[in-house]
Amino acid sequence: MNIEIQGSLSNTTVQSAAMRRYYRLHAIIYDATRWSFLWGRNQVLKQIPIEKTANATFLEIGCGTGRNLDQLANQFPSAQLFGIDVSRDMLEKAAKTLIQNQHRVQLLETAYPSELPTTPQVILCSYALTMFNPGWEAAIEQAWKDLPVGGYIAIVDFHDTPFKWMERWMGFNHVRMDGHLLPFAATRFSAVHQSVHKAYFGWWRYFIYVGQKTVA
């Protein structure tokens, strides 16, 4: 039995279409290559202040190949897991990765949906928001609206780089890297954890942020 991938992007935006084309090839090599520069993914999951036995609901925006959802399934054995992504190629990889937890995983082929199937206690964004150009502000705002009071957003992503050539190269790969995400997230949520780290002796920096929605 396979995990059903729900939704459709037949009426897609220009940005979503570009992402689908980009990941049609990269889905094949993603897990074999991205470990070398997508730093902090394990650490952000450890910073989520939810009891391991809780019947929590997690939503990952831009879940890709399901690597993080698989980690969450092991870390939170009673949790319900939802993953959304615009790339069917990536979701097909995720369905295979998550097959052992198919009874508590739902995958949606969509950009951020206007209505979620349930209310999440945690929304995870792992190296996704820097690729939402435009759309990163709207995604953070929508996450704030969708979370209940007391819910958490967990973000790990690129922060900035001192090198223009690095910024241009990342831009060529659809990634914006100019320190724009962390300050905005901090205006909407109350920080539970916030840290900025150097990668490869300072070629670039990435950040880990866990924030709580404290007001309605």
**How many helices and strands, by DSSP H and E, does the chain display?**
7, 8
Q: For residue 71, give the CATH number of its domain.
A: 3.40.50.150
Q: pLDDT value at position 23?
A: 53
Mean pLDDT score across all residues of the chain: 87
Token pair, residue 76, equals 């939170």
Q: pLDDT value at position 156?
A: 98
Q: Which pTM value belongs to this model?
A: 0.88
Q: pLDDT value at position 10?
A: 43
Say how far apart CA 208 and CA 216 lie, in whole Å. 24
| Contact of 112 with 142, CB cutoff 8 Å | yes
Q: Is the pLDDT of residue 13 over 80?
A: no
pLDDT tens-digit series, residues 79-102? 999 999 988 888 999 999 999 999
Pairing of strands 5-6, 57-61: unpaired
Q: Is the pLDDT of residue 116 over 80?
A: no
Pick 17 or 163 by higher pLDDT.
Answer: 163
Domain that holds residue 139: 5-212
Q: pLDDT value at position 187?
A: 95
Pick 38 or 177 by higher pLDDT.
Answer: 177
Q: pLDDT value at position 33?
A: 57
Pick 135 or 190 by higher pLDDT.
Answer: 190
- Residue 175 burial (C-beta neighbours within 10 Å; 0-12, 13-18, 19+): middle
Pick 188 or 7 by higher pLDDT.
Answer: 188
Count how many domains the chain has. 1
Assign 14 a pLDDT band (cuts: 50, 70, 90): low
Phi and psi at 198, nearest 5°, equal -85, 145
